């Protein structure tokens, strides 16, 4: 059975998106991406430090991967739009993950500013991926505005707490016609597997791999978990019952 | 004459272009994006855009992010 992820008119085999942040040594990123077998990688935009002659993170990302710049650092829609425009000008396509955060403690995104940025950037021809607090009405508005997918968080960024917002994400998957990518909070392969079992189109994670003791092995674990969860979802789960014997219930010698 | 680059006030000589500035800083123009006075500057205009007194230039590149 052919199963691919369709985002902004492109087909992808992998449903695991990874971030390129928080690596102590960025040269490991290539191996992580290859081991995770992911097709889409997020990056951030920052001012160049002229005193450091370090490489652009792009040099560690295989050329055939889709780059998804984020708008981290933006506190308003206006700032996010500015970051998106500069990112596009660098020349790695028109994708952008909208991330607008004012909340310094929990790093929760501002859905209204995110919607505003989505509306503006869709009109400018971007493929827009809004990262948001799970909310059906806002998710619907983002979809109506033309978002390529909607990316609700499972738990605060980098918290590794898993799918704390599970029921709302489930409802969004059920009710919205755009792909739902669970982004943030996923700390263990089982969390990613669970999101995929629920029918999420994909998951996006960074810290869980980058901050593990063995990032390459963790990348492999997440690859397997995402594939297992997707296959389980596609197979269709057996219904929950009180009890149902797996073997015949007649007596052994009957 | 001076301009601001990435938040730092800098002196410059007349005739310096954005492209020339990047070369002076040993920055590959292919990997950066430039904001000039709050507007995105298209890469193909780097070499023909002169820096003016009081300009505010931001030079960005991609870094690791989630």
Q: Please state, in angstroms and rounded to a whole number, the distance separating the CA atoms of residues B51 and B33.
A: 16
Counting one residue from chain A and one from chain B, the pairs whose CB atoms sit within 8 A come to 102
In a 10 Å sphere around its CB, with 0-12 CB exposed, 13-18 middle and 19+ buried, how is residue A133 labelled?
Answer: middle
φ and ψ at residue B57, rounded to 5 degrees: -115, 130
In a 10 Å sphere around its CB, with 0-12 CB exposed, 13-18 middle and 19+ buried, how is residue A155 labelled?
Answer: buried
Please answer yes or no on whether A45 and B63 come within 8 Å at the CB atom.
yes
Q: Is the pLDDT of residue A1 over 90?
A: no
B61 inside 8 A of chain A by CB = yes
Residue A183: which H helix or E strand, with range?
A: strand A181-183
User: What integer is the mean pLDDT of A1-8?
Assistant: 92
Q: Is the pLDDT of residue A55 over 80?
A: no
Cα torsion A182, A188, A192, A198 to 10°: value is -100
User: What integer is the mean pLDDT of A96-122?
Assistant: 97
A11 assigned to active site: no
Tokens of A193: 């597997």
Q: Which of the pair, A54 or A234, is modelled with greater confidence?
A: A234
pLDDT band at A31; cut points 50, 70, 90: very high
- pLDDT single digits (tens) A184-227: 999 999 999 999 999 999 999 999 999 999 999 999 999 999 99
Instruction: Return mean pLDDT, chain A.
Output: 95
User: What integer is the mean pLDDT of A91-104?
Assistant: 95
B35: closest CA of chain A, how far (Å): 7
| Chain A residues touching residue B35 (CB < 8 angstroms) | 82, 86
Q: Is the pLDDT of residue A54 over 80?
A: no
Q: Is the pLDDT of residue B12 over 90?
A: no
DSSP A5: E
Q: What percent of chain B has pLDDT over 90?
A: 74
| Chain A residues touching residue B32 (CB < 8 angstroms) | 48, 90
Q: Nearest Cβ partner of B62 from A69, A204, A206?
A: A69
| Chain A residues touching residue B65 (CB < 8 angstroms) | 19-21, 42-45, 57, 69-70, 72, 206
Q: Is the pLDDT of residue A30 over 90?
A: yes
Please answer yes or no on whether A87 and B33 come within 8 Å at the CB atom.
yes
φ and ψ at residue A153, rounded to 5 degrees: -85, 145
pLDDT score of A206: 95
Q: Which of A65, A97, A116, A188 is catalytic?
A: A97
CA A183 to chain centre: 4
pLDDT band at B11; cut points 50, 70, 90: confident
Please answer yes or no on whether B63 and A56 come within 8 Å at the CB atom.
yes
**ipTM surpasses 0.85:** yes
pLDDT band at A24; cut points 50, 70, 90: confident
pLDDT score of A149: 98
Spatial CB neighbours of A141, under 8 Å, sequence gap ≥ 6? A115
Tokens of A217: 């092995």
Q: Nearest Cβ partner of A48 from B30, B32, B40?
A: B32
Q: What percent of chain A has pLDDT over 70?
A: 100
- pLDDT single digits (tens) A135-181: 999 999 999 999 999 999 999 999 999 999 999 999 999 999 999 99
pLDDT score of B14: 81
B37 inside 8 A of chain A by CB = no
From B11, B4, B8, select the one nearest B56 (Cα to Cα). B4
Residue A197: which H helix or E strand, with range?
A: helix A189-197
Give the residues across from B36 on adjacent strands. B39, B57
Q: Which of the pair, B35 or A55, is modelled with greater confidence?
A: B35
pLDDT score of B41: 96
| Chain B residues touching residue A58 (CB < 8 angstroms) | 31, 62
pLDDT score of A139: 98
How many Å is the Cα radius of gyration of chain B?
12
pLDDT band at A89; cut points 50, 70, 90: very high
A66 inside 8 A of chain B by CB = no
pLDDT score of A247: 86
pLDDT band at A254; cut points 50, 70, 90: confident
pLDDT score of A250: 82
A138: closest CA of chain B, how far (Å): 22
pLDDT band at B1; cut points 50, 70, 90: confident
């Amino acid at each position: 059975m052919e199963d691919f992820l369709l985002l902004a008119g492109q087909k992808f085999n992998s449903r695991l998106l990874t971030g390129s942040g928080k690596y102590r040594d960025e040269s490991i990123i290539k191996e992580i991406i290859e081991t995770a077998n992911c097709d889409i990688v997020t990056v951030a935009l920052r001012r160049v430090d002229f005193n450091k002659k370090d490489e652009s993170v792009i040099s560690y990302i295989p050329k055939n991967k889709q780059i998804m710049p984020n708008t981290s650092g933006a506190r308003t829609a206006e700032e996010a739009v500015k970051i998106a425009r500069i990112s596009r000008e660098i020349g790695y396509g028109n994708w952008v993950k909208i991330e607008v955060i004012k909340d310094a403690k929990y790093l929760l995104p501002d859905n209204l500013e995110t919607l505003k940025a989505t509306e503006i950037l869709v009109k400018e021809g971007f493929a827009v991926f809004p990262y948001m607090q799970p909310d059906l009405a806002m998710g619907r508005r983002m979809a109506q505005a033309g978002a390529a997918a909607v990316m609700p968080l499972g738990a605060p960024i980098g918290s590794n707490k898993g799918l704390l917002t599970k029921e709302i994400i489930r409802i969004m998957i059920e009710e919205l016609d755009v792909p739902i990518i669970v982004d943030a909070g996923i700390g263990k392969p089982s969390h990613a597997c669970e999101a995929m079992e629920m029918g999420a189109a994909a998951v996006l994670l960074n810290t869980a791999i980058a901050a593990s003791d063995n990032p390459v092995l963790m990348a492999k674990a997440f690859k397997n978990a995402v594939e297992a969860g997707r296959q389980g979802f596609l197979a269709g789960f057996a219904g929950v019952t009180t009890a149902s014997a797996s073997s015949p219930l007649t007596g052994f010698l009957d | 004459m001076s301009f601001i680059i990435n938040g730092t006030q800098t002196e410059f000589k007349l005739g310096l272009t954005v492209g020339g500035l990047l070369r002076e800083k040993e920055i590959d123009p292919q990997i950066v994006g430039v904001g000039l006075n709050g507007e995105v500057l298209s890469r193909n205009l780097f070499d023909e855009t002169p820096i003016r007194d009081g300009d505010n230039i931001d030079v960005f590149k991609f870094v690791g992010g989630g």
